[in-house]
A and B are shown apart, each in its own frame.
Chain A
Amino acid sequence: MKARAFDYVRVSTIDDALAACARASGDFCYLAGGQSVVPSLSLRLQAPQLVIDISRIKEMRGIALIDGALRIGALTRHAEMLISPEIARHAPLLRLAAPHIAHPAIRNKGTIGGSIALADPAAEFPAVVLALDAELEIAGPDGRRRAKADGFFKGIYETGLEPGEILTAIIVPQFGENDRCAFDELARRHGDYALVGCAIQGRFAGNDVEAIRIAFLSAGPTQKRARNAEVVITGHRLSPKTIADAQSALELDLDPTEDEQTTATMRLHLARVLLGRVLGQFSCDSPRGGGRA
């Protein structure tokens, strides 16, 4: 399990990264936290001729509230989500999801940008940014752009990133007074990729759910919002009937896949059970972030 030989360049700015990419004569890949890239190179599942180390780009670091939105540098490590006061205050859903990501040492190195750019269908943060209605800040050979998280995840390991583009930051709308969120997943063991996971963020008006975004992970080829379930819930209070209707709606929302762990039918069943449980934690009475953290 040793990687094929490659050349390595470490860059300190986004522009340098893009320049290195422009100069690359063959296959290349970006390396940030490396927690998924390195094993895939070790297994020789990919064998780039050039590895561009972007992990020390300062402008891709840091968490700051700018113009009412939280800008989270793409190199922010999973572990930072657990201790950052800004995250706890303005994007608590990230705080709720982070403990579910792998193990402490992976969280010390893995980055949110890497997780989103890789788009493993079982990863937590892609579902979270969908639920958060986040925007993604992207730099590429053709300049800088922003993309909505909605529509970014296109398939297994497939995103809206064009060749050479780098995800540089995640922009999250500030958490409002009446906002609530919840996250949970069903994983065989602590830190395993979940059989199914669910992230919810929404806003209450009194006891009624004024708006809600529900996103699933491990429930199909890519992270996906459960739009029919959202419609069922929006404008209603979370009664057992509303929850049951939302659970039923998942059949239309999800396209569960089959793997070693479970069949598609069972995955849909588990998604329904999980939705019921996560909605149980998503309540106007709960502290600002419900769910198991």
Chain B
Amino acid sequence: MSVLASVSITVNGQVVQALVEPRTSLADFLRNDLGLTGTHLGCEMGVCGACLVLLEDRAVHACLMYAVQAHGLGVETIEGLSERRAIADLQQAFHERNALQCGFCTPGVLVTAYELLSNGACPSRAEIRDALSGNYCRCTGYEAIVDAIGQVARGRAKVPNTPAGCKIGSDTDETVS
């Protein structure tokens, strides 16, 4: 038994103080101690992306850090992003495009999408696929996810849903000459 560590973490905008075992992962802390079960565990080794959360507004794997490491920092989960309506357009596009099935990967995928689009980027389909390279989805085959993210990027760029302005969706990887 190790010495419990005292942590103070700003989770979804609220300061949370707790005593934790140092070995408790941030994911387990969020899920078990705070009931923030939208952060999922799929592999516990940073490969599947189901546990992605924002640490100081950057996507990180909650399974690849201990809660003690987040002391003094800000963590935001799918619940926080949803409640402050930071990803409402993404959620709507995912819903309409059916870019999720079982939903287990979805919070992590949305965190990736949030970060990808956070700097006003207008990524191509290939860039969206590359950004999703750490998000495993067994259900959808990814295409609907790529579609939905692309649509939101175009929407945020206020570009009509045609390939002309923003290049999303216009590039197929098939270069035929």
Contact = CB atoms under 8 A, between A and B. Distances in A.
A105 B112 contact: yes
A105 B61 contact: yes
Interface in A52-93: 53, 55, 79
Task: Give chain A's interface residue range (CB within 8 Å of chain B).
Answer: 20 to 34
Contact of A8 (B2, B25, B46, B59): B2
Nearest to B26: A38
Contact of A190 (B28, B66, B115, B130): B130
Contact of B65 (A4, A7, A109, A191): A109
Contacts, number: 98
Contacts of B89: none
24 contacts: A1-B44, A2-B25, A5-B21, A5-B22, A7-B3, A8-B22, A10-B68, A38-B64, A39-B44, A42-B45, A51-B66, A53-B69, A103-B133, A104-B59, A104-B112, A104-B133, A105-B134, A106-B61, A106-B134, A108-B55, A108-B58, A109-B61, A190-B133, A191-B133
Contacts of A191: 133-134
B159 interface: no
A7 B66 CA distance: 12
Given A104-B59, A104-B112, A105-B59, A38 B133 contact: no
Given A2-B23, A51-B22, A105-B52, A35 B2 contact: no
Given A8-B5, A105-B49, A190-B130, A38 B66 contact: yes
B2 A6 contact: yes
Nearest to A53: B69
A140 B41 CA distance: 37
Nearest to A3: B23
A9 to B, nearest CB: 9
Contacts of B63: 38, 42
B2 A104 contact: no
A108 B23 contact: no
Contacts of A102: 46, 134
A194 to B, nearest CB: 14
A8 to B, nearest CB: 4
Interface residues of B, number: 36
Nearest to A77: B58
B131 A104 contact: yes
Contacts of B28: 2
Nearest to A105: B59
A214 B112 CA distance: 34
B23 A79 contact: no
A104 B64 contact: no
Contacts of A41: 23
Nearest to A31: B69
A231 interface: no
Given A35-B64, A102-B134, A103-B133, A5 B23 contact: yes
A280 interface: no
Interface in A182-209: 189-191
B23 A39 contact: no
A265 to B, nearest CB: 29
B176 interface: no
B65 A38 contact: yes
Interface string B106-130: 0000011001100000000000011
Given A5-B23, A108-B58, A109-B65, A39 B46 contact: yes
Contacts of B66: 8, 34, 38, 51
A43 interface: yes
